[in-house]
A and B are shown apart, each in its own frame.
Chain A
Amino acid sequence: MNAITLHRRALLRAGGAVVVAFGLGLRPRGAAAWTEKPVATDQVAAFLAIGADGEVTVYVGKVDLGTGVRTGFMQIVAEELDVPLARIRVIEGDTALTPDQGPTYGSLSIQNGGVQLRAAAATARRALLRLAAERLGADAAALRVEEGVVIAPDGRRASYADLVGGRALDLAVDANAPIKPPEARRVVGRAVPRVDIPDKVFGRFAYVHDLRLPGMLHGRPVRPPALGATAEAVEPDSVRHIPGVRQVVHRGGFVGVVAETEWAAIRAARELRVRWSDWAGLPDQAKLWEHVRATPVAQVQVTSERGDAAAAIGGAPRRLAASYDFPIHTHGSMGPSCAVAAFEGGRLTVWSASQATHNLRKQLALMLGMPAEAIRCIYMEGAGCYGRNGHEDAAADAALLAREAGRPVRVQWMRADEHGWDPKGPPHLVDLRAGLDARGDILGWESEAFIPKGAGGNVDLVAAELAGLPREGQIHPGNIIHNLALPYAVPAVKTTCHRLESTPFRPSWIRTPGRMQNTYANEAFLDECAAEAGADPVEYRLRLLPRDDPRRREVLERAARLAGWETRPSPRPDREGEVLRGRGVSYCKYELVRTYVAGVAEVEVNRRTGAFRVTRFFCAHDCGQIVNPDGVKAQVEGNIIHTLSRTLHEELSFDRRAVTSLDWASYRSISFAEVPEIVIELIDRPTERPWGAGEPAAAIVPSAVSNAIFDATGVRLRSVPFTAARLRAALQGA
């Protein structure tokens, strides 16, 4: 037995005696436990186990990234199996134990992962009832279940533990196994408190950052001062004076230090003398959009086309054109990325907050030249990531350093590593043109987005790139073409994505990738059309919404009602005085096939300084069936605040060599005083299928704000971030 327990250091002494060994409240599953268990997504046992004590273990490939979805999974299982939440535990993202349900992205955890889990639980329930019927000599239809105990009409009972406890549920998942009807649900649809919150509030929750293995060393990468530089010479002697430094690792552009203590590793990483080659391959930030326009196009994708949009616009009596841009962003996770790697007997175990442990395993195998079967990746929660941040890269750093050091290594990035080296949300540029008739109705609409090629997939590991080790060598910014096509009925339309060969920084997805930027361009430009038409922005949208889907209209109408929307065109006529107020609406049907969201932003603008505040944000949200209303509400709040931060402040700064916005002063995040009052109306549809909530509400934020500023001032902002300086300049130019 080789169980790995958390290391409790006994340096805490009083009068020479060890007085306290603070328990960390967590015993991680260890490298030794490479249990063989079914993980195929068509097997019930891949998702569920019922122990001899009746405890239910849920195995999910989707992970809780701090969103609370773990509690949602527990609710789904508690509902279908009729077991108390307290008797359910969840294992997430462990390549040895959980099914591969794909990365945790795209707001699919409940929509896909939860629905798979629900089918497995419903299949299990049906089988358990059949077994109980035999055992109790009763008709299965007459049985009921209470707290994991099947009860016959005559009162005789058989618990799940009696029926199958400790044995694998050897069953194929039946996607059509009957699920609980809405009227019978007691746990799903309720605002169940999240199971992780008490531990997080009492300092007892162990994040991946808190994992300590026996004999573990601390590592830190030493990144080059220019993205493409290599280390020409490294001087280990420059850090020998630091007590506890064990090793300096150097391979191409990959440099790292390993030490007995975390502080020694940090000092060594700072003090290590390295001679770097020069590299200055980044574009001039001041000319970023020219660079984007000049980047070679790998592929042209027309994402929607009806009629002859160019001809319709050309022949229209009124024509509009505008360009919208959205800058490069960092994920900006609160906790810099972290991982622990341990080699043992030719096998590697990595603990990581990766949103895709199954894919990470393949990437590490490729980089290290090991069979994937010899690698196990285990998910442990990190700080919220909002997409593919640096977690996987920290895992690769830890694996490389652990291989060299011959002992387990924990790597936690420093703030500058995270801001400088997480993969970035790429620059996003959209040109739009529209032609209106004399009444102001849209005759034709054309848009062209300039965005990097690629879709979802693996983002290359920094360590592999710097060390020149094998990697896939493809870019994967996420499915950023979504929502360029309009959710409206326009007589002639053509939406085109110019998929660029390259983009300045290694790209990845950040919350609502592409959908948000495209919706921002569409919904702000549509507002320009409404203003040109002299129409109220809500009415203008309602006129364009197809009639065949009442849920679309409902979400928009409810958002307007929630906000006390005053029907009139924008901008508002009375734009006098120093402080101007306005409101803007936005609407999105996520990827045109799921979650509907509409919102209204209210702003207050100082006309002289350009300083403005978003005072209130209203949102109506229809994601179909709701598993946990408070959880959905928290996600909507998070979407609005996070995206407001991105809209108001965030923009990566860089010179020709590297990122220069390396802290929270140079890359600002929203402050408490800037967070608006948020009013949310959730539309629950218990008979519909559940859709995602982790991203859709973000899609409407930048456009709602641009539209509100226009309503208040008559000035249109088309470049994110909407800083006071930009607004002041626009107001002065108006």
Chain B
Amino acid sequence: MSQTLALTVNGQAVRLTVDDPDMPLLYALRNDLGLIGPHYGCGLAQCGACTVHLDGAAARSCVLPVREAAGRHVTTLEGLGTPERPHPVQAAFIAEQAVQCGYCTNGMIMQAAALLARTPQPTEAQVKEELAGNICRCGTQPRVVAAVLRAARGG
């Protein structure tokens, strides 16, 4: 009863064989594709740790059945940018040192990058509003906001 799905992950066409097409995308990314950027935090769409881009929009991969990703473009933190070609939000997170344990960081960056794609010059209030569903227990919020605003300013 395993099933093969075709999707695009970080710009590459992939075929994924899964036992259960209802499995959340997160497990396919982490375990089948070895992509460790997205994290399991709650599995309930409550914390943001698992955030990826689905056709450019931020999505919680912990509740998205993998079958719904078929035929679509998924981008993970690894695909957003690299040390050689960082996404502006990634560069700004380094500049602002906006990370403690970093477990939430994937979600913060992916959510913020999705915001900047829609709204390149957000206000501070818009940044906070966008990140309302992202939890950080270590207390990086002020630095995260500063980093997103820095990225919007162009570094």
**A and B: partners?**
yes
Shortest CB distance A256–B (Å): 18
Contact (Cβ within 8 A) B14 A65:
no
Check B40 against A336 for contact (C-beta < 8 Å): yes
Apart from A663-B42, A669-B137, list 14 A-B contacts with CB within 8 A: A6-B34, A11-B16, A13-B14, A20-B33, A197-B93, A198-B94, A336-B41, A383-B101, A414-B43, A634-B100, A637-B139, A638-B100, A670-B141, A675-B142
| Beta-carbon contacts under 8 Å, A334-351 to B | 334-336
Contact with A along B121-155 (1 / 0, CB 8 A): 00000011101101111111111110000000000
Q: Return chain B residues, CB-CB under 8 Å to A638.
A: 100, 138-140
Docked Cα-Cα span, A675 to B142, in Å, equals: 8
List 24 contacting pairs A-B, 8 Å CB cutoff, sorted by A: A11-B16, A12-B33, A194-B99, A197-B102, A201-B94, A201-B102, A202-B37, A202-B78, A202-B86, A203-B77, A203-B78, A243-B19, A261-B19, A261-B27, A267-B20, A334-B49, A335-B49, A634-B97, A634-B100, A634-B140, A637-B139, A672-B141, A673-B128, A675-B142
- Are A637 and B142 within 8 A (Cβ)? yes
- B55 located at the interface, meaning its Cβ lies under 8 Å from any Cβ of chain A in the complex: no
Main SS of chain B's interface residues? loop
A384 near B137 (CB under 8 angstroms)? Answer: yes
Highest count of chain A CB atoms <10 Å: which of B12, B34, B37, B83: B34
Q: Mark A217-244, 1 if CB is under 8 A from B, else 0.
A: 0000000000000000000000000011
1/0 contact string of B68-104 vs chain A (CB within 8 Å) = 0000000011101111001000100110010111111
Set of chain B residues within 8 Å of A640, measured between Cβ atoms: 139
Does A465 sit at the interface, judged by CB under 8 A? no
Known: A202-B83, A334-B41, A634-B97. A22 touches B34 (CB 8 A): yes
Q: Distance (Å) between the CB of A82 and the closest chain B CB?
A: 25
Closest-CB distance, A321 to chain B (whole angstroms): 35
- Tell me whether A9 is interfacial, beta carbon within 8 Å: yes
- Residue-wise, chain B 1-19 has the 8 Å CB interface mask toward A (1 for contact) of 1100000010011111101
Q: Does B119 sit within 8 A of A, measured CB to CB?
A: no
Docked-complex contact A203 and B97, CB < 8 angstroms: no
Complex-state Cα separation, A630 to B97, whole angstroms? 9
State whether B99 touches A384 (Cβ < 8 A): no
Within 8 A of B (CB), among A228-280: 243-244, 261-264, 267
Q: Is the CB of A639 within 8 A of B139?
A: yes
- The verdict on B58 contacting chain A, using a C-beta distance below 8 Å, is no
A575 CB → nearest B CB, Å: 28
Q: Is the CB of B134 within 8 A of A672?
A: yes
Tally inter-chain residue pairs, CB-CB below 8 A.
215
Residues of A within 8 A of B82 (CB): 202
Q: Is A210 an interface residue (CB 8 A)?
A: yes
Does A448 touch B at the CB level, under 8 Å? no
Residue pair A201, B105 in contact (C-beta under 8 Å): yes
In the complex, what's the smallest C-beta–C-beta distance from A100 to chain B, in angstroms? 23
Instruction: Say yes or no: B97 contacts A206, CB within 8 Å.
Output: no
- Distance of A338 from chain B, by nearest CB (Å): 9
Closest A residue, CB atoms, query B24: A263
- Asked if A200 contacts B44 (CB within 8 A), the reply is no
Interface residue tally for chain A (C-beta within 8 Å): 73
B35 smallest CB distance to A (angstroms): 6
A671 — nearest CB in chain B belongs to which residue?
B132
A193 with B16: CB separation less than 8 A: no
In the bound complex, CA of A596 to CA of B147 (Å) = 30
B104 vs chain A, min Cβ distance (A): 5
Bound complex: CA A261 to CA B16 (Å) = 14
Q: Which residues of B contact A12 (CB under 8 A)?
A: 9, 14-16, 32-33
The answer to the question of A544 belonging to the interface, with a C-beta cut-off of 8 Å to chain B, is no
Could you tell me the distance between the alpha carbons of A618 and B93 in the complex, rounded to whole angstroms?
A: 24
Least distance between A14 CB and chain B CB atoms (Å): 5
Quick one: which of A665-694 are within 8 Å of B by CB?
A: 665, 669-673, 675, 677-678
Could you tell me if B138 and A66 are in contact, using CB atoms closer than 8 angstroms? yes
Measured between alpha carbons, how far is A642 from B100 in the docked complex, in Å? Answer: 12
Interface residues of A in 388-421 (CB under 8 A from B): 412, 414-415
Cβ of A24 and Cβ of B36 under 8 Å apart? Answer: yes
Interface residue? A513 (CB, 8 A): no
Q: A67 in the interface, Cβ–Cβ < 8 Å?
A: yes
Beta-carbon contacts under 8 Å, B54-74 to A: none
Find the A residue at minimum CB distance from B138.
Answer: A384
**B-facing mask of A652-673, CB < 8 A → 1, else 0?**
0000000000011100011111
CA A68 – CA B101 in complex, angstroms?
8
Q: Are A21 and B140 in contact (CB under 8 A)?
A: no
For the complex, give the distance between the alpha carbons of A66 and B101 in Å.
4
Nearest 5 CB-CB pairs, A to B?
Answer: A66-B101, A203-B37, A641-B139, A200-B102, A384-B101
> Is A565 an interface position by the 8 A CB rule?
no
B143 x A637 contact (CB < 8 A): yes
**Contact assessment for A675 and B34 in the assembled complex, using a CB-CB cutoff below 8 Å:** no
CB within 8 A of A206: which of B9, B36, B41, B137? B36
Partner of A386, one of B44, B129, B137: B137
- CB-based nearest A residue for B12: A20
- Of the candidates B9, B41, B142, which one forms a contact with A415 in the assembled complex, judged by CB atoms under 8 Å apart? B41
CA distance A300 to B105 in the complex (A): 45
- Decide yes or no whether B53 CB sits under 8 A from chain A: no
On chain A, the residues within 8 Å of B17 by CB distance are 11
A334 to B131, CA, bound (A): 15
Q: Which of A1-54 contact B (CB under 8 A)?
A: 6, 8-9, 11-14, 19-24
Q: Which residues of A contact B144 (CB under 8 A)?
A: 672
User: Inside 8 A of A332's CB, which chain B residues have their CB?
Assistant: 137
A9/B39 in contact, CB under 8 A: no
* B114 interface contact, C-beta 8 A: no
Among B9, B82, B141, the one with the most A-chain Cβ atoms within 10 Å of its Cβ is B141
Provide the bound-state CA to CA distance between A386 and B137, in Å: 9
Q: Is the CB of B100 within 8 A of A384?
A: yes
Distance between B124 CB and nearest chain A CB, rounded to angstroms: 10
In the complex formed, the residue of B with least CB distance to A338 is: B40
Q: When chains A and B are docked, how far (Å) is the Cα of A267 from the Cα of B35?
A: 22
- B145–A672 CB distance below 8 A: yes
- CB of A210 within 8 A of CB of B137, answer no
Residue of B nearest to A636 (CB): B139
Residue of B nearest to A332 (CB): B137
CB neighbours of B30 from chain A (8 A): 210, 262
Are the CB atoms of A201 and B46 closer together than 8 Å?
no
With most chain A CB atoms within 10 A of its CB, the pick from B33, B106, B129, B143 is B33
Q: How far is the CA of A206 from the CA of B30 in the complex (A)?
A: 11
At the interface, yes or no: A209 with Cβ under 8 Å from chain B?
yes
Contact of B104 among A13, A334, A412 (CB under 8 A): A334
* Contact between A194 and B78, CB atoms less than 8 A apart: no
